Amino acid sequence: MYQRVGPEASNPATPATPATHIQPKVYMSDPRTNEAINVPEYTVSELSGAIKKTVEGAFGYVRVRGELGRVSRPASGHLYMDLKDDKAVLNGVMWKGTASKLSIRPEQGLEVICTGKLTTFPGQSRYQIVIETMEPAGVGALMALLEERRKKLHAEGLFDEARKQLLPHLPEVIGVVTSPSGAVIRDILHRLSDRFPRHVLVWPCLVQGEKAAQQIAAGIEGFNALEPGDDIPRPDVIIVARGGGSIEDLWPFNEEIVVRAAAASLIPLISAVGHETDTTLIDFASDQRAPTPTAAAEMAVPVRSELVAGLMTLDRRLVSASARSMTERRERVRSLARAIPKPRDIMGLAQQRFDTASLRLLQSLKGHVRAHRSRFDGVAARLRPEQLKQRAEVSLNRVSELGTRQTNAMKSRLARQEERLKASSNMLEVLSYKSTLNRGYAMVHGEDGRIIRDVKSAQPGMAAEVEFFDGRVPAVFGAPGTAPKKATKKPSKTSKDDAKEVEEKQGRLL
């Protein structure tokens, strides 16, 4: 919805006139009639400037109601958005200084009322509104957004009762996340001082405005980041507090970043935002909700005077119970003492039994010694030197006989092993190639020491060595066609002669 304000609001039909008159530069003729017409010629910049001055002069400040579409904030800090309804879209811009003072966080889908100045942006040939104030169009829109966010976070389990922590009965250190200049912190400190003075740490932050949500979440996370034993003590309980206000004023405590920080807190957290009738999303995520900041201080600590009175009552009851118990026990001991016999009577019977046992023990020891001495004398009479000498001679004869048998067995075993060794040596000598050389054969070795086994390996002129049974002699292979001298043919030996010669060399195996 658009609403015009300013001098022209009473007569909307009054046409807007340019703030300055641009002189025409060229006269043209109508191509249909060839008649001269007065049509000015503009540059793009001149025309954009004229439109800008016309729009700004005609409208001035306006209030626009619409739904936020695209919302973006670049690094410059300025805020750019679209205001739309079911038929049109209007571009909007909010400069950095104004955007930092917003009490609500602009989000897509939020219906707002914006007040600002209508102008144009020549760089992209569009008109826009420079927003100076922004407020929700109504509580209904905020409540719808709040309910949608509550359902989303509840579905993630951030509000489950199983996640709630118990508050400590008497915390040593209390952390408070609130504005240090408001009346809330004074109310909390005053209430703590009346009930039970404790060490209080204040994390200063904004509790209203666009940057409030980040600072509140940073305070909760900062207290949780403290380690036990640091210079700054770690709080035992955290109070997030703010005074009453409208739903717009309390909106930072409905932001997701604050709710998630409260749900993730490892330190028990008390939310004390607004009055008893005010409800924010941090109340669902906190471990305990207080209707007011003062009530939060009452939840955090007990009343010291009541504790002292309770301790005094318990002390009196303890003293009375102790005295009554001692009296009862004393009477019971006296009653039991009358039934116990005298120590002399109890010890007398035991002493008499002890004396009787002592006499019997002495007599038993003497009799035991006499019996053992008699047995010893009987055995000593049978122990004579001749019997011991005879038993020793018998043992020596047995030892000598066993030694002789062992010696004969070892000699027999050594003889058998010697015969086997001789037979193996003879067999090794028979199978050795030396025996073959001893019978008149020879082995031919090449220059590299390998054995020449066939004619192909023997090249003419190649040096060689011929090995006989008693040594080696150098030799050279002759050229092809050289006939060797005919050797005198010796009568060949018969197989019987060979067998006889082998038998003479190695001896009989059997």
Q: What confidence score (pLDDT) does residue 94 get?
A: 92
d(C-alpha 149, C-alpha 155), whole Å: 10
pLDDT digits (tens, 9 = 90+) for 340-389: 777 777 787 788 888 888 888 888 888 888 888 888 887 777 767 777 78
Across the range 311-328, mean pLDDT stands at 92
pLDDT of residue 510: 37
Residues 149 and 296 in one domain: yes
**pLDDT of 32 above 90:** no
Q: Which residues pair with 82 in a beta bridge?
A: 91
Q: How confident is the model at residue 111 (pLDDT cuts 50, 70, 90)?
A: confident
* Distance, CA of 22 to CA of 323 (rounded, Å): 111
**pLDDT at position 185, please?**
92
CB atoms within 10 A of CB 265: 19
pLDDT at 325 over 90: yes
Domain membership of residue 394 (yes or no) is no
| Structural domain count, the chain | 3
Q: Is residue 331 part of a domain?
A: no
| Stretch 94-116: mean pLDDT | 84
| pLDDT higher than 80, residue 236 | yes
| pLDDT exceeds cutoff 80 at 64 | yes
Find where tokens 């811009």 sit.
Answer: 93
Confidence tier at 3 by pLDDT (50, 70, 90): very low
Same domain, 191 and 233: yes
Amino acid making up residue 255: E
Q: What 3-state class would DSSP assign to 393?
A: helix
| Residue pair 178/185 in contact by the 8 Å Cβ criterion | yes
Answer whether 94's CB lies under 8 Å from 52's CB: no
Residue matched to tokens 């906190």: 286
Task: Identify the CATH number of the domain in which residue 287 sits.
Answer: 3.40.50.261
186 to each of 213, 271, 313, how far by Cα in Å? 22, 17, 33
Q: In this structure, are 130 and 200 located in the same domain?
A: no
pLDDT band at 205 (very low <50, low <70, confident <90, very high): very high
What pLDDT is stored for residue 16 in this prediction?
Answer: 39
At which residue do the structure tokens 């075993």 appear?
A: 413
Residue 213 lies in a domain: yes
Q: How far is CA 495 from CA 17, 52, 253, 499, 501, in A?
A: 151, 140, 126, 6, 10
- Same domain, residue pair 274 and 253: yes
Q: Comparing 494 with 404, which gets the higher pLDDT?
A: 404
In the sheet with 463-468, reading across from the earlier edge strand, the strands are 443-445, 463-468, 471-476
pLDDT of residue 140: 61
What is the end-to-end Cα distance of the chain in Å, rounded?
Answer: 136
Tokens of 493: 């030996």
Question: What is the reported pLDDT for 497?
Answer: 57
Question: What is the SS3 assignment for 38-102?
Answer: CCCCCCHHHHHHHHHHHHHHHHCEEEEEEEEEEEECCCCCCEEEEEECCCCEEEEEECHHHHCCC
Lowest mean pLDDT of 146-160, 190-204, 236-250, 331-345, name the range: 331-345
Residue that finishes a domain, picked among 302, 328, 349: 302
Q: Residue 297's domain spans which residues? A: 144-165+174-302
How far, in Å, CA of 109 to CA of 104, rounded? 13
Highest mean pLDDT among 222-226, 302-306, 470-474: 222-226
Q: What is the C-alpha separation between 182 and 204, in angstroms, rounded?
A: 10
Is the pLDDT confidence value at 485 over 60? Answer: no
**Domain-located, residue 308:** no
Which is it for the CA torsion 115, 117, 118, 124, positive or negative? negative
Residue 108: per-residue pLDDT: 77
Give the Cβ contact number of residue 191 at 10 Å: 19
Rounded mean pLDDT, 93-116: 85
For residues 243 and 295, is the Cβ–Cβ distance under 8 A?
no
In this prediction, residue 414 carries a pLDDT of 92
Residue 464's pLDDT is 87
Under the banding of pLDDT at 50, 70 and 90, the label for residue 4 is: very low
| pLDDT given at position 33 | 59
Residues 259 and 179 in one domain: yes
Per-residue b or e along 333-369, where b marks 16 or more CB atoms closer than 10 Å to that residue's CB: eeeeeeeeeeeeeeeeeeeeeeeeeeeeeeeeeeeee
Amino acid identity, position 72: S
Instruction: Decide which of 287, 302, 317 is a domain's last residue.
Output: 302
Q: Quick check: is 280 in a domain? A: yes
Picking from 120, 156, 147, 97, the residue whose alpha carbon sits closest to that of residue 45 is 120
What pLDDT score does 127 carry? Answer: 87
The answer to whether the beta carbons of residues 99 and 77 sit under 8 Å apart is yes
Let me know whether 32 and 158 are in one domain.
no
Give the Å distances, CA to CA, from 407 to 27, 244, 402.
Answer: 153, 120, 9
> Binning pLDDT at 50, 70 and 90, where does residue 116 land?
very high
Residue 279 domain-assigned (yes or no)? yes
* pLDDT band (50, 70, 90) for residue 267: very high
Kindly report the average pLDDT of the chain as a whole number. Answer: 81
- Decide: helix, strand or coil at residue 396: helix
Helix (H) or strand (E) holding 97: helix 96-99
Please indicate, yes or no, whether residues 24 and 107 belong to a single structural domain of this protein: yes
Read off the pLDDT of each residue in 94-101 and give the average, rounded to a whole number.
Answer: 88
The two counts, helices (H) then strands (E), for the chain are 13, 16
8 Å CB contact between 172 and 236: yes
Tokens linked to 94:
């909010």
Residue 460, in any domain of the structure: yes
DSSP SS3 for 2: strand
Asked if 184 and 74 sit in the same domain, the reply is no
Alpha helix stretches (DSSP H) within 119-247? 139-155, 183-195, 212-225
Mean pLDDT over 124-137 rounds to 86
- CATH number of the domain at 33, please: 2.40.50.140
One domain for residues 121 and 197: no
Q: Which of 200-209, 214-223, 293-302, 422-431 has the lowest mean pLDDT?
A: 422-431
Domain finish residue from 302, 324, 344: 302
Q: Higher confidence at residue 484 or residue 316?
A: 316
User: What span, in angstroms and rounded, lies between the C-alpha atoms of 279 and 253?
Assistant: 10
Q: Are residues 75 and 156 in the same domain?
A: no
Co-location of 67 and 159 in the same domain: no
- The DSSP result for 290-334, as a single string, is -SSHHHHHHHHS--HHHHHHHHHHHHHHHHHHHHHHHHHHHHHHH
Average pLDDT score over residue span 468-495: 65
Instruction: Please report which confidence band the pLDDT of residue 278 belongs to, taking 50, 70 and 90 as the band edges.
Output: confident
- Which pLDDT score, from 0 to 100, does residue 200 have? 94
3-state class of 11 per DSSP?
Answer: coil
Nearest partner of 493 among 439, 445, 434, judged by Cα: 439
Above 70 in pLDDT, residue 12? no
Q: Percentage of the chain with pLDDT > 70?
A: 85
Write down the pLDDT at residue 461: 81
Same-domain status, 54 and 181: no
Nearest to 166 by CA among 272, 292, 288: 288
In a domain, residue 60? The reply is yes
And the tokens for 481?
């066609």
The three-class DSSP label of residue 455 is coil
